[in-house]
Amino acid sequence: MNQKQKKVLIRILSAAALMILLGFLPLTGAVRLGLYLVPYLVIGYDILLKAFKGIRNRQVFDENFLMAVATVGAFLLGEYTEGAAVMLFYQIGELFQSYAVGKSRRNISQLMDIRPDYANVEGAAGLEQVDPDEVEVGTVIVVQPGEKIPIDGIVVEGTAALNTSALTGESLPREVEAGQEVISGCINMTGVLKIRTTREFGESTVSKILDLVENASSKKSRSEQFISRFARYYTPAVCYGALALAVAPPLTGLLLGSAPQWGVWVYRALTFLVISCPCALVISIPLSFFAGIGGASRAGVLVKGSNYLEALAQTKYVVFDKTGTLTRGVFEVVDIHHNAMEEAHLLECAALAESFSSHPISRSLRQAYGRPVDQSRVAEVEELGGSGVTAKVDGVAVAVGNDKLMGRLGIQAVSCRQVGTVVHVAVDGAYAGHILISDVVKPTSAQAVRELKKAGVRKTVMLTGDAERVARQVAQELGVDEFHSELLPADKVDQVERLLEAKGGKEKLAFVGDGINDAPVLSRADIGIAMGALGSDAAIEAADVVLMDDDPLKIVTAIRIARKCLRIVYENIYFAIGIKLACLLLGAMGIANMWVAIFADVGVMVLAVLNAIRVLFAKKL
């Protein structure tokens, strides 16, 4: 609780104590009025002041004006206890709302508390702590265990495990060593790192993420825009309605020759004003979206605005890019077939022969070999473009490549029925077997597709530039409803256009890609989701929703949070409007008094706010 909230609490307690004391005293007349004005002004002076300023600035119709008119009117009718009580409970509701919003902001600030306070730079007297804004590109900074990496850069010395949970929502540490890129916002858990900065602080990942979260509330959803328009017309309407309720029935009574009962109808009008205060809607709806964005951030899902959160909740079509989204996007050795020698020896020969090549397939062979490659064992290396490599390994001729290479050497290759890139190996002029290399499906991709269908997504589609048979196998393995292969970036846009035309009007289509090669499609879809965007500027800029790691299940988490948020928004709208309409009718009929009005205003607001902050605790997959 901050200082301002503490002051309000003291005023509430003081006013409540005075009112309880006055309730036991036998007071009448001007003395009673004067004494009840003390707790009323203690608790309500700021509301009266805001109402006066609103009138002076010609912005009359707001909740402060409603409270001021209702409570002053109650005092004029001699209902001192009820007039002071209305102001007291209104302030209690405002304090609760302020505390709830503050708590939500603190939760988000804590989970996004990744902004570093300083950077360590080596100077003549040792390490010096400087403002990260003052560090130039190319400067070597030192990050010790327990410190945050302040600026993006490349490790030049040291090894360490990094905690990326503030960015990804996951606690699994990431191991880094010299030569690897690191991004700001991660916490160094072990070891001392020396990092050469590659960006200025203002352009680093941490700054962009914080800017994204801080500005998310500026992009309003349709529900928030509706509430703003609703309040703009609703408040003047109920003020004029209350005036009509106070004047019309008594005048009608006079015309009909009966007693006008001005006091009764003015009291009903004042009760009507208290009930009609739109606090529950005006406060709880933006708070619901704010809490939704915060809950998503805690799960490693950055949503650029409540309008995108609303669109995400209405998603019924999910279109995936394949490489890097559903698959890892890197080649790996998945099997060895028809080998005439031990698998380990075959892999060793292939890795040594390919040790001088920078091709992705060569790197995958060396990675599968899993040991340092002794290039002194390799001689007479010849790389044949589009075919493969020939070399002498320990004095023995080794050929590694495709069907063309085997044909050129006059060696009969054995075909492979499985899908992937086939690397044939010949040793000493004889066929030794082939190695199957493939882009491996992520372990959670199939589960993500299943969970999306459980969540009500009607169709899942996969788009890829790969060959048809590769795409078909991945699609069947994952269970996607539809796939399209051998596509260029422009073809992917065309496919998304076709799906947009076919879907329902209110249903939304989300495209999920890596945010780097898929910027045109991300922009064209109803909502673009960038995966694995940790450190990717293009992803953060192009997408509407950014998933900070490469787990496809985060898509389901994002949709689940968005739907829970929207469900709570509609719950609050229906609940608040329903209760208020019922109480307004009862107030106009004289059945509801000021105490019912207090519940209809403060009680509904408190319940709506409590409901709204539930979004912060949405379940993660």
**Please, what's the largest Cα pairwise distance for the chain?**
123
- Most confidently predicted of 254-268, 338-352, 582-596: 338-352
Q: Out of 59-73, 536-550, 566-580, 583-597, pick the least confident.
A: 536-550
- Most confidently predicted of 216-220, 416-420, 560-564: 560-564
Q: How many residues comprise the chain? A: 621
Place of tokens 């000493």: 428
Give how far Cα 47 sits from Cα of 58, 63, 64, 94, 248, Å: 16, 9, 6, 11, 29
| Average pLDDT value over all residues in the chain | 82
Answer with the residue of higher pLDDT: 346 or 269. Answer: 346
Instruction: Answer whether residue 63 shows pLDDT above 90.
Output: no
pLDDT band, very low/low/confident/very high, at 434 (cuts 50, 70, 90): very high
Extended strands (E) in 300-429:
301-303, 315-321, 327-337, 378-384, 388-393, 396-401, 421-427
Look at residue 504 in the predicted model and tell me its pLDDT.
Answer: 67
The three-state DSSP-derived secondary structure of 214-252 is: HCHHHCCCHHHHHHHHHHHHHHHHHHHHHHHHHHHHHHH
Instruction: Answer whether residue 556 shows pLDDT above 70.
Output: yes
Query: What are the tens digits of pLDDT across the range 274-327?
Result: 777 776 676 777 777 877 887 787 788 888 888 888 889 899 999 998 877 888
* Residue 374 annotated as catalytic: no
**For 327-355, what is the mean pLDDT?**
87
Per the residue annotation, which of 113, 117, 321, 494 is the catalytic one? 321
Cβ 497 vs Cβ 319: under 8 Å: no
d(CA 469, CA 38): 83
For the CA atoms of 364, 365, 367, 371, the dihedral, rounded to the nearest 10 degrees, stands at -170
- Residue 361's nearest CA partner among 328, 342, 388, 325 is 388
Look at residue 41 in the predicted model and tell me its pLDDT.
Answer: 93
Q: Out of 40-54, 166-180, 507-521, 551-565, pick the least confident.
A: 166-180
Structure tokens at 433: 């077997």
pLDDT band, very low/low/confident/very high, at 383 (cuts 50, 70, 90): confident
DSSP string, 87-154: HHHHHHHHHHHHHHHHHHHHHHHHHT----S-EEEEETTEEEEE-GGGPPTT-EEEE-TTPBP-S-EE
Place of tokens 């007479």: 380
Structure tokens at 17: 């104590």
Who contacts 267 (Cβ-Cβ below 8 Å, separation ≥6)?
Answer: 74, 77, 79
Look at residue 167 in the predicted model and tell me its pLDDT.
Answer: 65
Instruction: Answer whether residue 446 shows pLDDT above 60.
Output: yes
Bridge partners, 435 (sequence order)? 336, 423
Cβ 555 vs Cβ 529: under 8 Å: yes
Look at residue 222 in the predicted model and tell me its pLDDT.
Answer: 67
Q: Using the 8-state DSSP alphabet, how is residue 322 labeled?
A: I
Domains of the chain: 119-150+152-198 (2.70.150.10), 290-328+442-564 (3.40.50.1000), 329-440 (3.40.1110.10)
d(CA 260, CA 145): 80
Instruction: Answer whether residue 621 shows pLDDT above 60.
Output: no
Give the pTM.
0.67
d(CA 222, CA 319): 24
Answer with the residue of higher pLDDT: 142 or 27. Answer: 142
Instruction: Answer whether residue 364 shows pLDDT above 80.
Output: yes
d(CA 465, CA 329): 12
- Residue 288's nearest CA partner among 91, 100, 554 is 100
Look at residue 394 in the predicted model and tell me its pLDDT.
Answer: 92
How much of the chain is helix, strand and coil, in % rounded to 5?
Answer: 55, 20, 25
Bridge partners, 189 (sequence order)? none
Instruction: Answer whether residue 141 shows pLDDT above 90.
Output: yes
Rg (CA), the chain: 34
The three-state DSSP-derived secondary structure of 57-99 is: CCCCCCHHHHHHHHHHHHHHCCCHHHHHHHHHHHHHHHHHHHH
Amino acid at 271: T
Place of tokens 């960006």: 199
d(CA 493, CA 497): 6
Instruction: Answer whether residue 475 shows pLDDT above 60.
Output: yes
Look at residue 377 in the predicted model and tell me its pLDDT.
Answer: 92
The helix (run of H) or strand (run of E) holding residue 520 is helix 519-524
pLDDT band, very low/low/confident/very high, at 65 (cuts 50, 70, 90): confident
Terminal C-alpha separation, the chain: 33
Look at residue 525 in the predicted model and tell me its pLDDT.
Answer: 87
Order of strands across the sheet with 315-321? 301-303, 545-547, 527-530, 508-513, 315-321, 459-463, 482-484
**For 480-487, what is the mean pLDDT?**
88
d(CA 21, CA 40): 14
Burial class (CB in 10 A: 0-12, 13-18, 19+), 491: middle
Answer with the residue of higher pLDDT: 195 or 283. Answer: 195
pLDDT band, very low/low/confident/very high, at 162 (cuts 50, 70, 90): confident
